[in-house]
Chain A
């Protein structure tokens, strides 16, 4: 299965019963898959919306009504959805948003990119909020993280973004799917709008004109984000045990970096990889702990340098942070990254170390 379809199948198995989206390359396989999958379900809804904005707002409505709901798009379309994502955060509604990133800014191109890291991890829309951001790097993880995305969204009542790129969306890899969840068997949500039958009427709102109440709402959200930051940060390591240089990369870039690291290892260089799986919350503790032994980190991204800022913040000057990146939809080869690693390795005199 293609990556986009893996996300779709995993969403259905996670109990997603509402999808709304708008065509944009390179993620059209996902809405196409969802149109068929929802038609096969008695309780499934697929809507091809008139716009990205309408799609995210339909997801808001479906989420209010209690459904596990999803939308997807690619970079320019995600910009349009940001209003709705801000509302999802303010209204405290669960939803899953997939961004299959492409080159930008503007229309950019349709090649794989990681240019939306800032937009994704800083919230993206207006107001004082965060969104959970998950970064799959292979087919199995597309399936597993899609399941996690729906679980996190419901657990924390907050929007969750799956941040992939055109490469992840197109690649074909074998996948073992988790068992299907029956949405009727999920725990009942106590806050949904389904008609005030034998209970008081409910309001789901983000407008809080009273400044004291608004401040309390902001602190309530902040407490939730702090809880998320302690509970779910995740990172994977590869060959870091004896590493003197650790590459930090996520998603497609992390896969390319693995190839580069293998080449460097063949040359006898002690290099490893730390791959953030959650981009927000950022796994800064894992990076900080590694800095006790590793004095040089190389951040590799398919952009001109975005996650590198979070790495610097995590390290607070404990180790040197270097950057290698290729924006614009250029996909580096493992050879190219291997060369960037080895030249940095020698430049930092790591070969001579103790």
Chain B
């Protein structure tokens, strides 16, 4: 007897990912889809994709999906959730989307304690537009708009959005993880599960920030990109539970 041990999650469509080789989005999409399946919420989940590399996430997630303008995911998710409070609503956002153009929407959704879940993918650059400086770009990191490296005096330092969000009273659960290794991927899945459970239990705003490799714009191999996360990115954005008031 053959036993099926690995297959496509129920809530990923049968479509090949368009993401670059080594990109973290494919892994994170899979993790989110697995969690939705394991929690049995696929028929009552509504997702809100961002503007950015994951803009066509609705071509992959097999749940109801509604597009938001750049950075406005938490506001759109707020509108959906308030009308349908018994559904599970998540936004999926990149660092430029959530920590630059959408900062206000994010902070205030968290502060209101909106009972939604945010998947925040931090690859420390604007991937889709070709690798410009993001709010999360590390000091000294080269990008197409910081030739010679990000300079704090000229460009500002990377922003710790998750820590800022943790200061809001409505944020209940915030954790930063990575998809740079098998161990970190498993931790990320645990965090995503906990974030969705936080929402299912009606506890309030939950967010998982996921450090994700961008081999294309970092101009590295996938292995080197993962190593960069583990050795360098975590120095600026340490992996940890930033806030947990679910207990």
Interface residues of B, dominant DSSP:
helix
Query: B82 near A45 (CB under 8 angstroms)?
Result: yes
A64 to chain B: which residues have CB within 8 Å?
46, 66, 76, 79-80
Query: B80 near A62 (CB under 8 angstroms)?
Result: yes
Query: B43 near A65 (CB under 8 angstroms)?
Result: no
Q: Which residue of B lies closest to A90 (CB)?
A: B67
> What bracket does the count of chain A residues touching chain B fall in?
35 or more
Question: Smallest CB–CB gap between B194 and chain A, Å?
Answer: 22
B56 to chain A: which residues have CB within 8 Å?
207, 209
Query: A194 near B104 (CB under 8 angstroms)?
Result: no
Of A55, A63, A84, A202, the contact of B69 (CB 8 Å cutoff):
A84
Of B64, B75, B105, the contact of A201 (CB 8 Å cutoff):
B64
A54 to chain B: which residues have CB within 8 Å?
72, 75, 104-105, 108
B83 to chain A: which residues have CB within 8 Å?
17-18, 45, 61-62, 65-67
A205 within 8 A of B: yes
A240 to chain B: which residues have CB within 8 Å?
none
Query: B43 near A58 (CB under 8 angstroms)?
Result: no
B68 within 8 A of A: yes
B55 within 8 A of A: yes
Interface string of B59-72 (1 = CB under 8 A from A): 00111111111001
Query: A195 near B87 (CB under 8 angstroms)?
Result: yes
**Contact of A57 with B64 at beta-carbon distance under 8 Å, contacts A18-B79, A64-B76, A195-B44 already known:** no
Give Cα distance in the complex from A40 to B46, angstroms: 28
- B: number of interface residues (CB 8 Å): 35
Of A53, A67, A204, the contact of B72 (CB 8 Å cutoff):
A53
Query: B45 near A195 (CB under 8 angstroms)?
Result: yes
A45 to chain B: which residues have CB within 8 Å?
82-83
Query: A197 near B80 (CB under 8 angstroms)?
Result: no
Question: Smallest CB–CB gap between A52 and chain B, Å?
Answer: 11
B77 to chain A: which residues have CB within 8 Å?
61
Interface residues of A, dominant DSSP:
mixed
Give Cα distance in the complex from A207 to B55, angstroms: 8
Of B43, B48, B76, the contact of A195 (CB 8 Å cutoff):
B43
Query: A198 near B79 (CB under 8 angstroms)?
Result: no
Query: B43 near A87 (CB under 8 angstroms)?
Result: no
Give Cα distance in the complex from A202 to B59, angstroms: 10
Q: Which residue of B lies closest to A209 (CB)?
A: B56
Query: A202 near B82 (CB under 8 angstroms)?
Result: no
B42 to chain A: which residues have CB within 8 Å?
196
Of A57, A67, A205, the contact of B75 (CB 8 Å cutoff):
A57
Query: B43 near A61 (CB under 8 angstroms)?
Result: no
A63 to chain B: which residues have CB within 8 Å?
79
**Contact of A83 with B82 at beta-carbon distance under 8 Å, contacts A195-B45, A197-B44 already known:** no
A267 within 8 A of B: no
Give Cα distance in the complex from A167 to B2, angstroms: 77
Query: A61 near B79 (CB under 8 angstroms)?
Result: yes
Query: A57 near B82 (CB under 8 angstroms)?
Result: no
A58 to chain B: which residues have CB within 8 Å?
75-76, 78-79, 82
A66 to chain B: which residues have CB within 8 Å?
83-84
Interface centre among B45, B81, B83, B112 (most CB of A within 10 A): B83
Given A50-B105, A195-B44, A205-B66: 13 more A-B contacts, CB < 8 Å: A51-B105, A54-B105, A57-B75, A60-B72, A61-B78, A65-B46, A65-B84, A87-B69, A193-B80, A194-B64, A197-B44, A204-B66, A205-B65
Q: Which B residues contact A (CB, under 8 angstroms)?
A: 42-46, 48, 55-56, 58, 61-69, 72, 75-84, 87, 104-105, 107-108, 112
| 15 examples of A-B residue contacts, CB within 8 angstroms | A50-B104, A53-B105, A54-B105, A57-B68, A58-B82, A60-B76, A61-B66, A61-B68, A65-B80, A67-B83, A195-B44, A195-B84, A201-B63, A204-B65, A209-B56
User: Top 6 A-B pairs ranked by shortest CB distance?
Assistant: A61-B79, A57-B75, A195-B44, A65-B83, A50-B108, A62-B79
